[in-house]
C-alpha cells in the first residue's frame, strides 16, 4: 500500500475488523499459511486475524505506521507514527515483542 497524499504523524488511517480464532483451534491454524498472518490476542491462546487491506501491509524495521489491536473491541486501527510522503510505501513492524524480537521470515532488501 502506498500513500496517495502526504500524511502527518499521529493520523488515524483506517480501521479493520478482526476474526478471533479460539485457542482450542490454534493447532489447526498452525498447520496453514494463515498462521503467519495472525496476532496473539489473549492469554487463552486466542489469535486475531486482521481482515481487509491493512493485513497486506509490508513489514519494515523502521515502519511508518502502527497497527493497534483495540482491546475492548474486535477491530484493529492503523495509525501513522511519523510523516509519510505521497507515494511512500505504508509499512508496519511485524515484531510483536519489540524492535529486537525475532521474525519468522527473512527480511529482503529492495534491489
CATH number at residue 29: 2.170.270.10
| Domain membership flag for residue 17 | yes
Q: How many domains does the chain have?
A: 1
Q: What is Dmax (Cα atoms) for the chain?
A: 43
- Classify residue 41: in a domain, yes or no: yes
The 3-state DSSP class for residue 40 equals strand
What's phi and psi for 29, nearest 5 deg? -65, -35
Give the pLDDT score at 76.
93
Domain of 83, in residue numbers: 12-92
Q: Which pLDDT score, from 0 to 100, does residue 9 have?
A: 98
Q: What is the pLDDT along the chain (111 residues), one digit of tens a residue?
A: 999 999 999 999 999 999 999 999 988 988 888 887 888 889 999 999 999 888 889 888 889 999 898 988 899 999 999 999 999 999 988 765 555 655 555 656 666
Question: Is 31 contained in some domain?
Answer: yes
pTM over 0.85: no
Strands annotated E in the chain? 12-21, 38-40, 47-50, 58-59, 65-70, 75-80, 91-92
Amino acid at each position: 500500500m502506498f500513500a496517495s497524499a502526504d500524511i502527518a504523524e499521529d493520523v488515524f488511517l483506517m480501521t479493520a475488523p478482526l476474526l478471533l480464532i479460539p485457542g482450542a483451534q490454534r493447532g489447526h491454524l498452525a498447520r496453514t499459511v494463515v498462521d503467519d498472518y495472525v496476532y496473539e490476542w489473549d492469554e487463552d491462546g486466542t489469535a486475531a486475524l486482521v481482515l481487509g487491506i491493512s493485513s497486506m501491509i509490508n513489514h519494515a524495521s523502521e515502519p511508518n505506521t502502527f497497527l493497534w489491536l483495540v482491546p475492548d473491541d474486535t477491530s484493529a486501527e492503523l495509525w501513522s507514527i511519523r510523516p509519510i510522503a505521497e507515494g511512500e510505501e505504508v509499512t508496519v513492524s511485524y515484531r510483536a515483542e519489540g524492535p529486537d524480537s525475532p521474525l519468522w521470515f527473512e527480511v529482503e532488501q529492495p534491489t
